[in-house]
Amino acid sequence: TCNLTWETEIDNNTDSDVPVAPVVCTLNGNTTYKGNTIYDDNLTGLLVSPGSYAFSCTDGLSNTQTKSVKCSVKPDFKEI
């Protein structure tokens, strides 16, 4: 898994996982991930499976920030 951490600059709220209207955040277009709601523009410690992800937040004033990331697993090279 990978640990996603990102904070937008849309508002000055720095508390993670606290609903602050009218900011709406999504991960890959969804407002939830594995049953957990993406509440805030401060994403901390979200464990995700390998794959590509786009985290986006927008407010009621047409301000939007988006970040795309990829979680990949590298093979462990060992001597024989």
Predicted local confidence at residue 52, as pLDDT:
94
Q: How many Å apart are CA 49 and CA 4, to the nearest integer?
A: 10
Q: What is the DSSP letter of 8?
A: -
Put simply, whether the predicted model's pTM sits higher than 0.85 gets the answer: no
Radius of gyration of the chain (CA): 15
- Residue 12 is classified by DSSP as S
Range of lowest pLDDT (12-26, 28-42, 62-76): 12-26
∠72-3-12 over CA atoms, to 5°? 130
